[in-house]
Amino acid sequence: MADGAVRGRFAPSPSGRMHLGNLWSSLLAWLAARSQGGSMVLRLEDLDRDRCRQEYCDQVMRDLEWLGLDWDNEPVYQSRRTELYHQAFRTLEEQGLLYPCYCTRAERLAASAPHRSDGAAIYDGRCRRRTPEELAALARERAPAWRIQVDGAEIAVDDLLQGSICQRLDRDCGDFILRRSDGVYAYQLAVVVDDGEMGVTQVVRGSDLLDSTPRQVFLQRKLGLPQPVYGHVPLLLAPDGRRLAKRDRDQELGELRQRYTAPQLVGLLAHRAGLIPEYAPVTPQELVPLFSWTKLPAEDLVFSRL
Ligand code: GLU
């Protein structure tokens, strides 16, 4: 990759068929990269072995292709990259930043400070204060999760669409988990390691992940990885205000592909994105010269049934 070249990414979680919301963020991520002459990589975020299946991975790729969204290089599967996450974990451990946490879910909730903006409890650091004797006794009982100490870190990120966001991590998110007690590495660690290792320079994704971004930038700094540019696109909401999810079967690609052609679906989304003044069927390729961050809405969009 040439210096200064843009590299974007698709990072779907293959736990079901893609829905309209996934398609929306995929289209915008692809346009943001291609409109700058950039490349695109595909990473299947399949660390949750209970929910992810190879058939869903295959389906995601077929659906992206059907829409006219392509990528460069071979697809990357997170489930095959444990060694990379382990190395990063060791790097952080060597810096003295990690500690084992034996709290059960119930204890975590009881021991939590006020909630984060995404509703998750802020861990109060209980396990960080345990004596060596307590830790030794707990270690005989069960395997720990591992957390990273955030202390007073203050992280500000300029988002292409949402403006500047700033978090003081101890107050706004708390020490967070990097490895679960069953040994699975957490999304936050995997995504940072992968974006760094894959040379991603531009992260375009749904604004539900805006709140995770300061944690990811914190990890990038601790691991000495470059910080990509971030653009968090608005979410698509159902008419009752809920965000579209995989359980909204009628907004799932299997259903949509029976009712629309790919250019019709892309045209509907492009119109809502402000890229075309009136609805018309269009291919992603035709939208490349029309893409601009300044046209996109920043607020979530209500989508009545297509
Ligand atoms: N795999 C995540 C999802 O499908 C996206 C992660 C990311 O873009 O950082 O919601």
Among protein residues, the one with the nearest Cα to ligand 1's atom 5 is: 11
**Ligand 1 centroid to 13 CA: how many Å?**
6
Residue 286 is encoded by which pair of tokens?
A: 């035709």
**Ligand 1 centroid to 14 CA: how many Å?**
10
User: If we measure between CA atoms, which residue out of 86, 78, 90 comes closest to residue 45?
Assistant: 78
Domain 83-156+164-183 adopts which CATH fold? Glutamyl-tRNA Synthetase; domain 3 (3.90.800)
**Ligand 1 centroid to 11 CA: how many Å?**
5
- How is domain 7-79+188-302 classified at the architecture level of CATH? 3-Layer(aba) Sandwich (3.40)
Query: Can you give the pTM of this predicted structure?
Result: 0.94
Spell out the per-residue pLDDT of the chain, length 306, in tens.
Answer: 445 799 999 999 999 999 999 999 999 999 999 999 999 999 999 999 889 999 999 999 999 999 999 999 999 999 999 999 999 999 999 999 999 999 987 676 665 666 676 667 789 899 999 999 999 999 999 999 999 999 999 999 999 999 999 999 999 999 999 999 999 999 999 999 999 999 999 999 999 999 999 999 999 999 999 999 999 999 999 888 888 776 677 788 999 999 999 999 999 999 999 999 999 999 999 999 999 999 999 999 998 766
User: If we measure between CA atoms, which residue out of 136, 94, 135, 120 comes closest to residue 174?
Assistant: 120
User: If we measure between CA atoms, which residue out of 73, 84, 45, 56 comes closest to residue 212?
Assistant: 45
What phi-psi label fits residue 59: left (phi over 0), alpha (psi between -120 and 50 degrees) or beta? Answer: alpha
Residue 288 CA: distances (Å) to CA of 21, 27, 34, 115, 285: 20, 10, 7, 41, 5
What number does the ligand 1 atom closest to the CA of 212 have? Answer: 9
The preferred substitution site among 191, 220, 233, 246 for testing ligand 1, maximizing ligand atoms within 8 Å of CB, is 191
Q: How far apart are CA 82 and CA 60, in angstroms?
A: 22
Give domain limits for the chain: 7-79+188-302, 83-156+164-183
Write out residues with Cβ below 6 Å of ligand 1.
11-13, 45, 191, 205, 209
